[in-house]
Structure 1
Amino acid sequence: MSDNTFNQFGLSQGLVDSIAELGLKQPTEIQQQAIPVVLEGKDILAGAQTGTGKTAAFGLPLIEKLIARQDEFKLLEREPSAPQAVKALVLTPTRELAQQVFDNLNAYASATAIKVVVAYGGTSINVQTANIKKGVDILVATPGRLLDHVFSKNITLSHTQYLVFDEADRMLDMGFMPDIQRIMKRMNSERQTMLFSATFDKRIRDLAQRLLNQPVEVQATPQNTTADTVKQMLYPVDKKRKSELLAYLIGSRNWQQALVFTKTKQGSDALVGELKLDGIKATSINGDKSQGARQKALDDFKSGKIRALIATDVAARGIDIQSLEVVINYDLPFKAEDYIHRIGRTGRAGNEGLAVSLMSRDQEYLLEAIENLLDQRLPQEWLQGFEPSLVEDVEPEKSPRRRGRSADKRKMKAKMKIHQNRGKRRK
């Protein structure tokens, strides 16, 4: 009979004890596939949706390898005034995800001598510098803040043996490629690299080809699919009645914990006000909020003080709630891949989840893109009292690029009108 526990990987006893204390009993699919590859020292290109246990998939073998090489790495230890040699680097796209990964790695390494430090923007760099100078084995960081510490000579990456890209697709979406290139110029070429991504596209393939050395490719779930444990439902509704329908659903279905996605920061704040008028406790989390405010909003949501957390895609990256009840797309995402990221917040670890989308007529083209990506039709239902009008008086919503072209056209028309008026005055 095969061993289907973490004992099968031959991990150190201290690491096994920490895993047991955290209640982790059986490895997930991505852990089963990735841990042996990382332990063998091979580069890996891993496809795993959020909530599949990917942090442990790279974190556990990473800690194990650092434990095995502790005597060797002692030779790299320097005076506190000199740049600290980072042995392993984990890059994440957002502050929330960096904090989440740090918390998990710290828990895994609690019974070992491995030191884990986190560094991201929006918080004091001096506190981070003090933590780094105490010694660092694994540094979890966002690209921008990492470069701040490199330029300040707090750390050196010239001896880094292990590099992890967590949610690499999101890093590219957020425009981190220039920072990644700067980081790679300072990295040790003799390293083991692990790239984890929820989706694979040409950009990820190109990045993998440039950064990985003969990688082993593993895919925990078929590409561009949603978890079987997530029930999906779409409600067509007039745009002007969306907030009313959202409040009705949260109240009538007695949802106590709903993560709601909007397309803009301004929209997230405005929706909080609408829900409060309907007696629903809500708060927003977006890029305009300080790190402290974002963390408080998340803590209040997790503790049940807040029923609805309104978020943008960027701010929600890294939110990890094991038993999240429902995810609601108040606005459909402009990128179809983001639909997969969003609804992957529910239905985790085998739990059942619900993903609800509210679609106004101006977002029908976004639904088409999502269904084409998933290669399936999303189930739709008209709610009594909220049936959409046959003709809704709104302009079709445009993607950012289309909006830019429309703005250019409006400017051109305005200039032409000015020239025409000048001509009339001359006559």
Structure 2
Amino acid sequence: MPPAAATPLPKIVPVQGSPWQVLLTFLRLGLTSFGGPIAHLGYFRSEFVERRRWLDDARYSDLVALCQFLPGPASSQVGIAIGMLRAGWLGALAAWIGFTLPSAILLIAFGYGISHFAFVADSGAVHGLKVVAVAVVAQAVWGMARTLCPDPPRAALAILSALLALILPSTLGQLSALVVCAIVGLLAFKAPPTDGPHELPLTTVSRTAGAISLALFAALLIGLLLAAHTGSPLFTLLSGFFQTGALVFGGGHVVLPLLQAVAVPSGAIGNAEFLAGYGAAQAVPGPLFTFAAYLGTVMHTPLQGWIGGLVFLLAIFAPAFLLVVGALPFWDSLRRRTTVRAALMGVNAGVVGLLIAALYDPLWTSAIHSKADFGLALTAFGLLVLARVPPLAVVVLCAIAGAALQGF
């Protein structure tokens, strides 16, 4: 009996849509996608695999795997990749704009409220936003630890990362923790095997274009670092935001400790205003990275207001865009390197540790001042984890409760 013919790889799908169509579709998702990155990926699958059939389940799963592997906001990167698949480079840009713009506008508006009405920052409602941030990050630690630290070695690595972050409360300390975790993962962990090769269904990204995108990422990273060494506070902040976008593994909540280490010690923003914005970011749809738009609006820089919001928004998202575009042509060979995946196992455990450290400082130390605060945070945590109440409802409840507690 002759051997069965090998199953051919799926053909590359040609570009078949318009950037305008991509923009409108992602704008609707940007207005309605609450619940964080895991929920966003579910919305994307329903919209683009089941409803619109822009791609099949296999291609979608491969894109999700790539974006979970890369640093940056996974849901936004999946959206950029889908936009690229559908309408080329302009489609990728349209997908990012549509999904990001609604929450960016809302957080810039909140930033104006904090900046122009000083009493808002000291109100009970804003204190409620700080308290709900404790519950949200505790929920993230709870979920991520179960997924990313399922065994004692990785749990121990998370504890080591938390200790390093607490001992060295700075961007350097957090970066050092991630590097140590990557080295331990590379030396001590064994990544499971992957399945066979896949053909990446994109015509618009050649290996040359991917290499140029990665080179541009490296040039911006190094260039901003050099500019920061000139002593310019603005370039120091821009470099810090770009580095944050290049270092966030494991979920958008990791921006909290990284951005706090960049913005607060520099004096650009107070810890109270920082945490108020982070709490507000839980109440808006779309990616959590748009927290950078709020910070750019309220920080004391030459670019205050909506211009600052947009500039710092671009600074934190630029690495995500360049990395996903650059990695797409090389994904199939990259994903099968066991050394890379073993190092990533260590990094993922490390980011859980960073969140544990952030849960204590700055969140707990800044928001929990009384038994009532602790009770409100515990209630919010229970609603999020046990009752699975939508984050928006929990945020509103905590803001109202914070205002009520101040009245007493």
Q: Which has the larger radius of gyration?
A: 1
TM-score by length of 1: 0.27
More helix by share: 2
More strand by share: 1
TM-score by length of 2: 0.28
